[in-house]
Amino acid sequence: MARKLKAGFFSFTGDEGCMIVLLELISDRFDELSQKMEIAYWHVLRSKKWRDINDFDVAIIEGAVSTNGEVERLKDIRSRAKKVVAVGSCATTGAPSNHRNFFDERRLGEIDSVIRRFGYREKVQPLKDFVKVDDEVPGCPVMEEPFLQVMQKYFKEFGVG
């Protein structure tokens, strides 16, 4: 059997629009991509627990980081993946999930109880503020062609195909 790229798909703070786009993209190109990629974990499918997998070739991550728990989870994922790809604006820049970073004192006061109740960090930040990110794919939601280009790069790098 030919080698496949072992990928994990993860979400952090955001609307999960990137995951919907990627799910549709992979579905549309299933015959081609299923020959090259093993989806070892995808949070929307929840077929396995990601912590049971220690050797992702590529972790594909959407969403920004807004809690200390997400910081720890992101670092754990990074330790299990040879490459990390940030997909979409939230993961690459923090926006638009980071809108509250720019609230004035009055508005911050209005949401303070929510921030404290759910343990949110003071700022919402992109992935690269916490871990090494090997590639970024822009868009809100993620742009399909640049994503496919990054995947082709990794298929080649990992000897898939």
Q: Where are the domains of the chain?
A: 5-155
The pLDDT averaged over each successive group of 10 residues in the chain (161 residues) is 89 95 95 93 74 88 97 97 98 96 97 95 98 98 97 97 73
Would you tell me which CATH number, out of the four given (1.10.3720.10, 3.40.640.10, 3.50.50.60, 3.40.50.700), belongs to the domain 5-155?
Answer: 3.40.50.700
| CA-to-CA separations, 71 to 1, 97, 131, 154, in angstroms, rounded | 37, 15, 9, 25
Note the pTM of the prediction, 2 decimals: 0.93
What pLDDT, on the 0 to 100 scale, is given for residue 15?
92
What pLDDT, on the 0 to 100 scale, is given for residue 10?
95
What pLDDT, on the 0 to 100 scale, is given for residue 51?
65
Burial 41-64 (b: 16+ CB within 10 A, else e): bbeeeeeeebeebeebbbbbbbbb
